[in-house]
Amino acid sequence: MSSEEPLAGSSVNSEEPLADSSMNSEEPLAGSSMNSEEPLAGSSMYPADHDEPVGTPAFTARPVAAEAAPDQAAPTTLSTAQDVPVERPVQVDTGVFDELTRQRAREIIARYPQSRSALLPLLHLVQSAEGYVSQAGISFCAELLELTTAEVSTVATFYTMFKRRPSGEHLVSVCTNTLCAALGGDEIYATLCKKLGVGHEETAGRPGSPGSITLEHAECLAACDLAPVLQVNYEFYDNQTPQSAVALVEALQRGERPAPTRGAPLTDWRNTELQLAGFFGEPQQLRDAVDGPSAAPETLAGNRLAEERGWQAPAMPDNPPPLPTVAEKK
């Protein structure tokens, strides 16, 4: 490029800038705050002698009283300098919870010296009434325990036992953790997904209706000696195969309740949630649940072998040796 003439329309080496260009111009672009003494509207980038902090709007917003804040669509909104964070009450209808449920809630709260400790069983109670933890359920718990809905939501979304969508009459949980997966758990889960036409935490049938099933894959169910396993409403069905799992699901859809391998007699998911909240109904129901077999022969094989061979763990000495000294931290 040895020509002394620049390309047509170029402002390179030209004394005249391009039309409408603000480079080297004393006038900034319309709306631009570059080299301007006035910041953009709503900007928090203040001059150095201003008493406001310097930063982006998202980090310089300050909470204000609810009555001074602009209307917001949600109870708590991520804020900018124009939309400051404020928690304002949201009217949620909790009428779905009848007087019996409210009485049970009061009984649960009375068990604990600190009312907030009752949150977990209260969430199970909510699920027994609605089949999931709804926004109304969150507000119900928050109201009774004098917590914010954010505090209740934090717990409800942390534990996988609390469902945020309506669930079926039965919850089928297939263990897909390492040992169960290696012994067929993945195949069982894939087979049931195809059979029911659903995926993780999805429901076959209208939620709550007879024969409806919510399917999920679960982390370790603490039954590695009986792998692969699945649970129906948290009751165990051990040593499963794809064929036996399909037969079990078909029986549930027909309204049958096959006996678990061990544990309490099978009930529906809402009644299970009521039991987890601490309510077993008639005394015989509690007795039946307690009397159910809790251990399988595989689980007790080591104990049985030790008993047959006379093995015993060493007894604790009458005068145990002192604990070793620990060097002081410097």
In order of 22, 121, 143, 183, the CA distances from 226 in angstroms are 76, 29, 43, 10
216 SS3 class: strand
> pLDDT confidence of 88, banded at 50, 70, 90?
low
Topology (CATH level 3) of domain 170-283: Glutaredoxin (3.40.30)
For residues 202 and 214, is the Cβ–Cβ distance under 8 A? yes
Give tens-digit pLDDT for 100-149: 999 999 999 999 999 999 999 999 999 999 999 999 999 999 999 999 99
Give tens-digit pLDDT for 298-308: 889 999 999 99
Give tens-digit pLDDT for 108-121: 999 999 999 999 99
**pLDDT score of 242:** 97
> pLDDT confidence of 169, banded at 50, 70, 90?
very high
228 prior amide bond cis, ω within 30:
yes
DSSP 329: P
Burial (CB count within 10 angstroms: exposed 0-12, middle 13-18, buried 19+), residue 237: buried
In order of 119, 127, 132, 146, the CA distances from 157 in angstroms are 13, 13, 12, 19
How far is Cα 138 from Cα 94, in angstroms, rounded to an integer? 9
How long, in residues, is the chain? 330
DSSP for 61-84, written as a single string: -----GGGSPP-SSSS----SSS-
Closest of 152, 151, 96 to residue 122, by C-alpha: 152
Give tens-digit pLDDT for 311-326: 998 888 888 888 888 8
For residues 159 and 121, is the Cβ–Cβ distance under 8 A? no
Provide φ and ψ at 33, rounded to 5°: -105, 5
For residues 96 and 131, is the Cβ–Cβ distance under 8 A? no
Structure tokens belonging to residue 214: 């919510």
Q: Please count the other Cβ atoms lying within 10 Å of the Cβ belonging to residue 27.
A: 9
DSSP for 148-209, written as a single string: -HHHHHHHHTTSTTS-SS---SEEEEEE-SHHHIIIIIHHHHHHHHHHHT--TTEEESSTTS
**pLDDT score of 94:** 79
For residues 232 and 260, is the Cβ–Cβ distance under 8 A? yes
Give tens-digit pLDDT for 13-66: 444 444 444 444 444 444 444 444 444 444 444 444 444 444 433 333 344 444
For residues 83 and 57, is the Cβ–Cβ distance under 8 A? no
For residues 234 and 269, is the Cβ–Cβ distance under 8 A? no
How far is Cα 274 from Cα 100, in angstroms, rounded to an integer? 12
**pLDDT score of 45:** 43
Domain boundaries along the sequence of the chain: 99-156, 170-283
In order of 209, 216, 217, the CA distances from 177 in angstroms are 30, 13, 9
Closest of 165, 104, 161, 105 to residue 130, by C-alpha: 165
Angle at alpha carbon of residue 263, lines to 180 and 219, rounded to 5°: 30
DSSP 255: T
Q: What is the CATH number that goes with domain 99-156?
A: 1.10.10
> pLDDT confidence of 199, banded at 50, 70, 90?
very high
* Whole-structure pTM value: 0.67
149-156 and 119-130 helices, crossing angle to 10°: 80
Structure tokens belonging to residue 192: 């049931």
Residues 6 or more apart in contact with residue 298 via CB below 8 angstroms: 225, 226
**pLDDT score of 16:** 47
